[in-house]
Structure 1
Amino acid sequence: MDTKIYTFDEAFQASLAYFQGDELAARVWINKYALKDSFGNIFESTPEDMHHRIASEIARIEQNYPNALTENQIFELLRNFRYIIPQGSPMTGIGNTYQVASLSNCFVIGIDGQSDSYGAIIKLDEEQVQLMKRRGGVGHDLSQIRPKGSPVKNSALTSTGIVPFMERYSNSTREVAQDGRRGALMLSVSIKHPDSQDFIDAKLEQGKVTGANVSVKIDDEFMQAAIEHKSYKQQFPIQSDQPQYVKEIDAEFLWKKIIHNAWQSAEPGVLFWDTIIRESIPDCYADLGFKTVSTNPCGEIPLCPYDSCRLLAVNLYSYVVNPFTKDAYFDFDLFAQHVMYAQRIMDDIIDLEMEKINQILHKIDSDPENEAIKLAERHLWEKIRDKTLLGRRTGVGTTAEGDMLAALGLIYGTDAANEFSEKVHKVTALSAYRSSVKLAQERGAFEIYNAKREKDNPFIIRIKDADPDLYAQMVKFGRRNIACLTIAPTGTTSMMSQTTSGIEPAFSCVYSRRRKVNPNDADVHVDFIDEVGDAWEEYIVFHHKFVTWMEANGYNPAKHYSKAELDEMISKSPYYKATSADVDWLKKVQMQGRIQKWVDHSISVTINLPADVSEELVGQLYVEAWKSGCKGCTVYREGSRSGVLVTASQEKIEEAQSEKDEKDQSCFCYNNVIERPKELPCDVVRFQNNKEKWIAFVGLVNGRPYEIFTGLADDDDGIVLPKQIVEGKIIKNKNEDGRSRYDFQFTNKRGYKTTIEGLSYKFDPEYWNYAKLISGVLRYGMPIDQVLKLVSGLQLNSESINTWKNGVERALKKYIPDGMTAEGKKCPSCGQETLIYQEGCLTCQSCGYSRCG
């Protein structure tokens, strides 16, 4: 491995040249995918270095089998992100000796049988965290947890139901950092479960279940009952012939609840579970451990417990010859050959994953922890290793669908485009399965392959009807992989391939951005001067493949065009009325359904809707998705997460603000301040500022920040807390001299309570005074995003206080509802006012830029 170390600037300049001046792509690659150690040392200067690293490792595995691909052949497939693009975990982990992490992008965990004891629930919590720390996204199902009010044989007497455990798993996710990013979690539940409505509503309460995606598993019986205005039976256990608990519900009411919540907050997603199970090839082996129970966080991989998947995408745009001309055509022969290579490379990556799992097991063995502590983690990875080898599941997918269609002159969302997309994915499926059959001849079939078990599977029948010879070969030799295909979101990787993502259309053809300039330089055009006097120039950035269309049609991308000229130009392009905000939503759902017929796993796709669409339209799209054969569906209505999570006190604040505006008052004054209770529930937020460990105590009223105390956590007389606090609260007391003090009492995981007296004396007095100021504003109900503006706007000369200020901002961002628009803020990358808060991070909906902290 190359041990040359590059500075960030060296890597940035080199990768900037590699990406031909695309700063966003260069930063994404360095921050997420360049090889680096835990100290931040960078060992690769461009993606070419990365592709050599990956090609070398895959070629090493190839040498173990007949007809091996050479390192150069593999490198040319990867080079410049042109043809084959390994996704996040494989791209980061292959050949990386600086971290011990899995190559799998996603996992599902679960408990065999109907166990919902505390032991089983806590076991899943531990397994979830163990997987997330190795960079994996995790999904698991909550349908086995007994409904609220059910009798239990412990001191609680009755069950609390699903929601408290949703919060537990969500909080665990938020605790885990994965190379600078949060963990990812999918929680699902069957619509048949009596607590499914509570599950569906859980995320509407402010601050609840913020660390998980949630999806409800909907069966055909429920859909039919909802459409026909009939009742539906819920029961527990959900699969039992003799359930302990049964209730009849109005299916239409619950269906409208799902639609309303999705319209209002973009969740829950829906999983059409009967379609998933009916189409699932692995479920032909359900009795052998491959019963599908949930999906990964983005929903594109339905999985059985302890199975995992690695992902890879084929860049569809690169197979368009003479793009954006009348002579454009799709090279199906080259494409089919490369899909076969992609499937082969995916199978090689399984072998590389086995090496990674063995490294993980070796690290567990060598850790100085007690054997009893290590046992659970070791057993987890042994189960994953065994399931991975038993099925050898792969995840070959595609990206750049939108650009492929435009390059061929097809308008995204039209019947002609949908028909062509289906043809492309049919070839993808046949080629991947042909490759898997050939691999079975060379390397052996997956261990439990049985043609009789699969003969009635709808997907296998489609393969048989489309290519009888391929099916005959599969029956004779078997298949190397139990399932092969998926279409995952390819957000950051599509930035590096400079194409559209997954099967999505282009987001926009034109973006407006800004760059800081020196107004004294010659030939500088100043468009904007900010509040601190810095001068900025505005400039236009085009979608990469729109530039290719411009050049093919005689336009000069370097020329300055007026808005009218741009509008006229776009109207002549194949992107006209075919970008994210313009496509026919119904056609997009139908397109997803047609492609799904040729994808044995599932498809991650979001239907983006304008803010003014009705709930009825969302319902129509969901029904159409079900009828079209989609396995799942997610909608996002523009701005739908802004202001959704509003407590009663916040509603009063908004009313007071409205009255203030009407009376033209000049002061910030609310009369609904809540008197400080003696005890407040408290969140503990840990973070780092300039490598110093900091801690914040956030007192809550109705789940909303009411006060905050923060400072260094590792002073000589500072505060030392265990990593896991089950429950904490701030108690207001008085000293002997009559002065108020604030004590922090917490309960650890063993149930012991500890009290730390006098938070006001533990932190720097200057921090304390500013904390009282900010706490006063919080108590009077100022919205959290406005509090952040107030804090960030403080002009302080003390470096330590400015560090404190940054800490307050980090701690409070956690409580801004996901999806809330960052008003008045422009994306530093693309200049658009499309920044939203997402789990405390500012994320640009236009270009994908993200900044946390």
Structure 2
Amino acid sequence: MKAKGYTFDEAFQASLDYFNGDELAAKVFLNKYALKDGFGGIFEKTPAEMHLRLASEIARVEAKYPNPLTEQELFDLLDHFKYIIPQGSPMTGIGNNHQIGSLSNCFVIGIDGLADSYGAIIKIDEEQVQLMKRRGGVGHDLSHIRPKGSPVKNSALTSTGLVPFMERYSNSTREVAQDGRRGALMLSVSIKHPDVESFIDAKLVEGKVTGANVSVKITDDFMKAVVENELFKQQYPVDSTSPTFTTEIDAGALWGKIIHNAWKSAEPGVLFWDTILKESLPDCYADLGFKTVSTNPCGEIPLCPYDSCRLLAINLYSYVKKPFTKEAKFDFKMFKEHVALAQRIMDDIIDLEIEKIDTIIAKIDSDPESDEVKHAEGLLWEKIRRKTLQGRRTGVGITAEGDMIAALGLRYGTPEATDVAEEVQKAIALAAYGSSVKLARERGAFEIYEATREQNNPFIARLREADPQLVADMEKYGRRNIACLTIAPTGTTSLMTQTTSGIEPVFLPVYKRRRKVNPNDVSSKVDFVDEVGDAWEEYIVFHHKFVDWMIANGYPAAKKYSQEELDELIAKSPYYKATSNDVDWMQKVKMQGRVQKWVDHSISVTINLPNEAEESLVNQLYIEAWKSGCKGCTVYRDGSRSGVLLATEAKKEEQDCECYEPPVIVAKRPRELEAEIVRFQNNREKWIAFVGLLNGRPYEIFTGLYDEDDGIYIPKNIEKGTIIKSVDAQDKKHYDFQYANKRGYKTTIEGLDGKFDPEFWNYAKLLSGVLRYAMPVDQVIKLVQGLELNNESINTWKNGVERALKKYVLEGTEARGRKCPSCGQATLVYAEGCLKCTSCGHSKCGG
């Protein structure tokens, strides 16, 4: 029976009701997770329908095994994102027969043996694209590429080194990410590689490597050389006992470069590679194909080539009983039960992933291309299928840790809070591994399990010390999954989670002038102060649960508070001095190191520093992260990325003088305007925009469907022309577009104003008027986004206008009032016509 479809308006209203009026959460759900077909048809209007779909499919897998969970039991765990939350790819793909894609969030690719050839480089490039088009994030390592200047046996004579191939892979990511498709890439390289300095500098070059995150694999020997001020040997090949090239460098100088770049642009991240390999359970099977070579784009899953991972998070806040009271307590009993079920669900999702991979392979086999064309893609998915079944790797993680800590009456970053965080993560490790052992008894161990290989692994040693019987059972029955745990960024999922569980972040910005504050921005329960004045000297982040804390502690819910009273309440609350810029950063690093001991994969966390933080602090944090046993570390200094973008833009302006002039209002339109063509797709339909420019700034816009039947035919190579204002015999104004073909002959398309839908034209006149009077382009885009239109075709037009105008926003301009759909931070900037997050690297080039 065909699923019932919904109009966007029907689905949006139902979703808005579900999320208690939170438009952001409703739009995130509909845009990213609601069941849709390839033409944009919507088949789920609320997360309840999505959770029912997930529960039904997981129950179908459960029925194949002993002691199956029922659909209702599964739904109760998922409902309202309260306890167990499958992450992006599983939420989107499970039970989705409309689109062909993988359930894995992330992959790593690579080639066994020698891989320093164009054939190998191009092969990896194709595999990266094939995975990204199925919604997967991809990581791979470049340490196999010979350094710049090395001799090669082709007409080039010498190697170009790493950087040109970084650009190649970055460009492929940007290409596959267009039209809203996902594309996330991690490029890594060993600190031992002679080109590592060029690698870390490449991200600072304007317009280069904009489609990738970069991280350096740091060895213990290098860190010791840094601390002890010694020389360090680089070589190629990096792991060879008889390298063809060696050089000694000043370790401190290279480390200083890493620190400076991280301070300046939030990259490179560092991966403490010896810690990763020493702790890794999969690397106990390195000779069987499980040697870790790189990480996924966010860094929380170190992987071997062609392995992948699906992610799931447990909402920690939901296990706090009597939150924000003196009797607040964490319910470890229920928590451990749910962790065991989460691990079981993750194993079920592996079976569902195999079904998806089989569908992908069948799709490839049925494609009309020749076997020669299809061979690489088909072989790629065969290798992924094999690796998935061999290891059955899972990624059980957490979300809402900060709210859990606050609900318990603790302050994030304090020793007491760190003790609780470690205790909770230890409970997760024991419960998840206990569940995996139980699953091995019921369903069988992962096929290459061998207890003797793991007997000296530090993580297993910690499990043995904490629960000897667990490890004894593991050695007897095996384990279902080669590795189980991670802490990943929960991104857009957390936006939906926080809304429905009552922990939505609420921001009270710094006010440099007096301004009215809407009490509903904080809570409908409490009538907050009418005004906030100059006394707010720092950016204070509240959570919706701050209100619950007030009520739980006897403060009147319906009362106006003076500014002084509110300041006093803030100081008493567990959220005071607990925001990213307030916490003790060194304590946060130490906390990460302690928690890491109970996570078999890695932890993705960014240390957020204020803009005024000095490079010496970044140095101290990175060194402490290594000493504390962290597997990786990334810092983000407030405004660092946008600052770099603006700086490089300014540098270009000085060199090329291709800058915007200060805005000059020209109310009377010149007869002719230079124009650019912007082509794009909306819901698989081809659209076109003609943007008239004055002094390089958008002055007017015409946009709509690209329909040759309506007389709009322009060769693809034509990107520029002229919009000419003309007057006909009836004294009516018209706008014509004129361009020159490759032979120099001019072609005129008459009556642009009549080529598109009349309603589109009326809105375009409105926007052109706004542009004409020099409103900043980013604010025009914000105006377009805020239009509340109840016609689906007009909403599509609105998205098209936004996409056309993004190209003209100055590089590095902050997207004020918008949050990153991946990490939820208000750190989006415009870069190369795309919205990019300076916190997590997320990029979206669509509307």
TM-score by length of 2: 0.81
Aligned in 2, Cα 1:37/1:717: closer, same or farther, shift over 3 Å?
A: closer
Cα deviation 1:619-638 (Å, max 9, x = unaligned): 10000001000000011100
Q: Is the 8 A contact 1:826 1:832 kept in 2?
A: no
> Do the aligned partners of 2:324 and 2:548 also contact (CA within 8 Å) in 1?
yes
Superposition pairs for residues 102-141 of structure 1, below 5 Å?
102-141=102-141
Which amino acid in the other structure matches residue 438 of structure 1?
K
1:134, distance to aligned residue in structure 2 (A) = 0.6
Q: What are the equivalent positions in structure 2 for 1:417-816 lying under 5 Å apart?
A: 417-498=417-498, 510=508, 543-555=543-555, 561=561, 563-645=563-645, 650-651=650-651, 653=653, 686-688=679-681, 691-694=685-688, 715=708, 718=713, 756-758=742-744, 761=747, 808-812=804-808, 816=811
Aligned position for 1:356: 356
CA 1:307/1:420 → structure 2, altered by over 3 Å: closer, same or farther? same
- Residue 318 (str. 1) matches residue 318 (str. 2): yes
Q: Do the aligned partners of residues 376 and 408 (structure 1) sit closer, same or farther apart at CA in structure 2, a change above 3 Å counting?
A: same
1:801 and 1:178 map into 2 onto residues whose CA distance is: 18
Query: Aligned match of 1:836 in 796, 812, 829?
Result: 829
User: 1:281-324 CA deviation, whole Å, 9 max, x = no partner?
Assistant: 00000000000000000000000000000000011111111111
Kindly tell me: are residues 789 and 544 of structure 1, through their superposed partners in 2, closer, same or farther at Cα, counting changes over 3 Å?
closer
Which residue number in structure 1 is paired with residue 763 of structure 2?
none
- Residue 2 (structure 1) shift: 6.8
Q: Which residue of 1 aligns with 2:256?
A: 256
Q: Aligned letter for 1:18? A: Y
Q: 1:541 to 1:561 in 2, by over 3 A?
A: farther
8 Å contact kept, 1:710–1:804: no
Pair 1:199–1:347, CA change in 2 (3 A): same
Relative distance call for 1:592 and 1:275 in structure 2 (3 A) is same
- Give deviations 1:467-504, integer Å, cap 9, x for gaps: 10000000000100000000100121111111799xxx
Alignment correspondent of 2:93: 93
Counterpart for residue 28 of structure 2:
28
- Could you tell me whether the CA contact under 8 Å between 1:402 and 1:506 is conserved in 2? no
Partner of 2:187: 187
Q: Report the Cα offset of residue 251 of structure 1.
A: 0.7
d(CA) in 2 for partners of 1:441, 1:87: 27
Instruction: State the Cα distance separating 1:27 from its structure 2 match.
Output: 1.7
Q: State the shift of 1:555 in Å.
A: 4.3
Deviates more, 1:71-80 or 1:382-391: 71-80
- How many angstroms apart in 1 are the aligned matches of 2:800 and 2:319? 53
Deviation at 1:564, TM superposition (A): 3.9
Report the residue type matching 2:807 in the other structure.
Answer: A
Using a 3 Å threshold, how does the CA distance of structure 1 residues 165 and 567 change in structure 2: closer, same or farther? same
- The letter of the residue matching 1:345 is I
Name the CA shift for 1:325/1:713 in 2 (closer, same or farther; >3 Å). same
What's the CA shift for 1:563? Answer: 4.3
Q: Residues 710 and 509 (structure 1 numbering): CA distance in 2 closer, same or farther, change over 3 Å?
A: closer
Alpha-carbon distance change, 294 to 498 in structure 1, aligned in 2, over 3 angstroms: same
Task: Note if contact 1:100-1:356 (Cα within 8 Å) is conserved in structure 2.
Answer: yes
Q: Aligned pair in 2 of structure 1 residues 808, 2: CA closer, same or farther (>3 Å)?
A: closer
Q: Does 1:294 align with 2:320?
A: no
For residues 748 and 182 of structure 2, what CA distance do their matches in structure 1 show?
30
Q: Write the distance in 2 (CA, Å) between the matches of 1:214 and 1:464.
A: 36
C-alpha contact 2:295 2:303 (8 A) present in aligned 1: yes
SS in 1 for 2:807: helix
Alpha-carbon offset, residue 826 of structure 1: 3.8
Aligned equivalents of 2:313, 2:781: Cα separation in 1: 43
Letter in 1 for 2:312: L
Q: Which residue of 2 aligns with 1:231?
A: 231
Q: Is the 2:135–2:181 contact (alpha carbons within 8 Å) kept by the matching residues of 1?
A: no
The one-letter amino acid paired with 1:821 is: E
Partner AA of 1:32 in structure 2: K
Amino acid at match of 1:816: E
Given that 1:399 and 1:500 are in contact with CA atoms closer than 8 Å, whether structure 2 keeps it comes out as no
Task: Say if 1:556 and 1:122 are closer, same or farther in 2 by CA, change over 3 A.
Answer: farther
Structure 1 residue 7: Cα displacement = 2.0
Q: RMSD across aligned C-alpha pairs, in angstroms? A: 4.2
Question: Secondary structure of the residue that 1:476 maps to in structure 2?
Answer: helix
Shift in CA distance, 763/389, structure 1 to aligned 2, threshold 3 Å? farther
User: How has the CA–CA distance of structure 1 residues 206 and 787 changed in structure 2, closer, same or farther, with 3 Å as cutoff?
Assistant: farther
Q: Corresponding residue for 2:241?
A: 241
Quote the residue 2:416 is aligned against. Answer: 416
Secondary structure in 2 matching 1:636: strand
**Whole-angstrom distance in 2 between the partners of 1:566 and 1:465:** 48
Displacement of 1:561 in angstroms is 4.7
Q: Is residue 22–residue 499 contact of structure 2 (8 Å, CA) maintained in 1? A: no
| Residues 581/557 of structure 1: CA separation in 2 closer, same or farther (3 Å cut) | farther
Match of 1:771 in 2: none
Q: Distance in 2 between matches of 1:766 and 1:9?
A: 31
Cα shift readout 1:711-763 (whole Å, capped 9, x = no counterpart): 997757845559xxxxx9999xxxxxxxxx9999xxxxxxxxxxx55597488
What residue is the counterpart of 1:208 in the other structure? 208
Question: Retained in 2: the 8 A contact 1:190–1:217?
Answer: yes
CA deviations on 1:129-182 (whole Å, 9 max, x unpaired) are 110111110000011011111111111111111111111111111111388343
Q: Name the CA shift for 1:850/1:375 in 2 (closer, same or farther; >3 Å).
A: closer
Structure 1: distance between partners of 2:475 and 2:415: 35
Query: Match of 2:66?
Result: 66
Equivalent residues of 2:678, 2:804 under 8 A apart? no
Contact 1:827 1:849 in 2 (8 A): no
Correspondences of 1:375-386 after superposition (within 5 Å): 375-386=375-386
Q: Which moved more, 1:18-27 or 1:28-37?
A: 18-27
d(CA) in 1 for partners of 2:317, 2:663 = 57
Does residue 369 (structure 1) correspond to residue 363 (structure 2)? The answer is: no
Asked whether the 8 Å contact 2:346–2:395 carries over to 1, the reply is yes
User: 1:274 and 2:270 equivalent?
Assistant: no
Q: 3-state SS of the aligned residue for 1:85?
A: strand
CA distance 1:282–1:35, shift in 2 (3 Å): same
Distance 2:593 2:500 in 1: 20
Q: Is the 8 A contact 1:205 1:645 kept in 2?
A: no
Q: Which runs of 5+ in 2 are unaligned?
A: 511-515, 521-527, 532-539, 666-675, 722-737, 754-773, 785-793
* 1:607 shift after superposition: 0.5
For the structure 1 residues 420 and 178, does the alpha-carbon distance in structure 2 shift closer, same or farther, using more than 3 Å as the test? farther
Are 2:50 and 1:50 equivalent residues in the alignment?
yes
Q: Percent of pairs identical after alignment?
A: 65
User: What is the CA deviation profile of residues 509-564 of structure 1, one whole-angstrom value per residue up to 9, with x for unaligned ones?
Assistant: 6469999x9xxxxxxx9x99xxxxxxxxxxx9962322322332334667665544
- 1:332-391 C-alpha deviation (Å, 9 max, x unpaired): 111111100000000000000000001101111111112211111110000000000000
Q: Distance in 2 between matches of 1:566 and 1:851?
A: 41
Change in CA separation of 1:336 and 1:389 when aligned onto 2, cut-off 3 Å? same
1:569 Cα offset (Å): 2.0
* Whole-Å separation in 2 of the counterparts to 1:172 and 1:70: 43
Task: Measure, in 2, the Cα distance between the counterparts of 1:791 and 1:15.
Answer: 25
1:849 Cα offset (Å): 13
2:83 equivalent in structure 1: 83
- Over residues 388-431 of structure 1, what are the superposed CA-to-partner deviations in whole Å (9 max), with x where a residue is unaligned? 00000000011111011111111110001101110100010000
Contact 1:506/1:579 (8 A) holds in 2: no
